[in-house]
A and B are shown apart, each in its own frame.
Chain A
Amino acid sequence: MKKQYAFLVDTERCIGCFTCAMACRNYYHQVEGVVWRQVYPLSEEIYPHRERAFLSLACNHCENPACLNVCPVEAYTKREEDGVVVHHQEKCIGCGNCIRSCPYGAPKYNPVEKRAEKCSLCHERLDAGLNPACVQACPTDALQLIDLAEFERTNEVQYPAGYPRMEELNPSTRFVLPKTPKMVRR
């Protein structure tokens, strides 16, 4: 398998503090209302415990990206060297087709630029040997950068509850599921 960078989201460790999402904002200063990384609480149907569990999600850098396939102006590319899906905003004409098509809601409309934008996995930081801003900021190590080509599978899943199953796209993000809490009785 070719190199494919991906996010590993450890929902057992995630405390829903939004530091990852804030780090992304601090780094890129998106205009108001535009969010590249979002922390979604799991609904009670999925995780009925007071501790609560979260999915921290941005673009999944899919193997077969819907955004790239539907974009009429070729504003998306998937990097050969590491599988990162990059949006080239200067080419975008703001048709919104990627926004309508990505099942994970990763591309967002920037009303000031009148173009789409999304997480491009901090590829400039990767090229400089650094971690993405969100991964670097996570205080619990719940968010990590992995290379699926070398990643040794243990208990991770690709499609946890609360996340759309899209086999044709083959999203790269992997998840560690939250454990059921132990009841302690005195």
Chain B
Amino acid sequence: MQSMELPLVVFTVFSQAAIGVTVMRAVRTTADGAGAEDHGARREWGLIAGLMVFGMLGSLFHLGHPLSAPTALNHLGTAWLSREVLFAGMFTGVTVLAVLVAGITGKPALAWLGTLLGLGVIVSAGMTYAPPALPALDNGLPFAFFLTSAVILGAGFGSWFAGGGRAPLMARIFTTALVVGLVLNLAAPWIWLSGGTVMRMTGQAWLGSAFYWAHVLVLLGCLGVVWKTRTIPAWLPVLALMGELAGRAGFFADTIHTAANMGGLY
């Protein structure tokens, strides 16, 4: 097992939750005409900004020299991490602005701008965590994992703000994202078992990891609850958040680096 990277777990999961809620807000408030069912905008933006700021602060603990964090913007030319920092900074700015200017109804334009920047964060994070040294993740999987987390948490927490008319839409999106998350998580480690040595080691590490199974069980549990109640109970998004945190800890801790097998067959 490698490092759990707690600050990165906090940053990626909380920022994805914030982005997801923004996307759902954009979808919900424009589902049948701008401004439909748009109330409590400030509270919702408050949650989004809170999640994002908490995630950004958490990420600083990952740096050996947090005060130099702004220099992380220096290498936009090739470093996806620089691009991730740029998008995350701009997204945070939009969320804070939205809290300040949101009245009771909010501004759909800000939700769409946030959605765009948020997708920028997810794409660049997907590229950052797909390096050649992690063969199991050197592909589209990190992006797919991150996007699924964003939609699960977005629809989950978004349901807190959806009026009765939009609640079934949130439940449908939540359910679909849970199924996609389950399929991805169940398929990936088994597929890795048929790959090269380091990929196989990663598959075995994931399948033997408490983080992995906790995540899978939470996804299954959430699915069971929605299926039974046909709604998203207010406490369910919090459980989903715990599941995503566990899954992300496993993502960092249990993925094997090529250097772990130096001198062995690849």
Chain A contact residues, CB within 8 Å of chain B = 38, 40-43, 45-46, 54-55, 57, 66, 68-74, 91-97, 100-105, 109, 113-115, 161-166, 168-169
Contacts and interface: CB of A to CB of B under 8 A. Distances in A.
A58 to B, nearest CB: 12
Contacts of A115: 64-65
A73 B62 contact: no
Given A43-B265, A55-B262, A100-B257, A70 B80 contact: yes
A41 B132 contact: no
Contacts of B79: 69-72, 97
Given A95-B62, A102-B133, A72 B262 contact: no
A105 B134 CA distance: 11
B264 A162 contact: yes
Interface stretch (B67-75, B110-118, B217-225): B67-75
Interface residues of B, number: 33
Contacts, number: 118
B69 A43 contact: no
Given A40-B263, A45-B265, A72-B81, A105 B72 contact: no
A105 B259 contact: yes
Nearest to B138: A103
Interface string B209-244: 000000000000000000000000000000000000
Interface of B: 62-66, 68-69, 71-75, 78-82, 85, 128-129, 131-134, 257-260, 262-266
A65 to B, nearest CB: 10
Main secondary structure on B side of the interface with A: loop
Main secondary structure on A side of the interface with B: loop
Contacts of A114: 64-65
Contact of A93 (B64, B128, B260): B64
B132 A165 contact: no
Contacts of B133: 66, 100-103, 105
Given A55-B263, A72-B79, A93 B68 contact: yes
A95 B72 contact: yes
Given A69-B79, A72-B82, A93-B68, 5 more contacts: A45-B264, A46-B263, A69-B78, A115-B65, A163-B262
Chain A to chain B: the 6 pairs with minimum beta-carbon distance, closest first? A94-B64, A105-B259, A114-B64, A40-B263, A101-B131, A72-B72
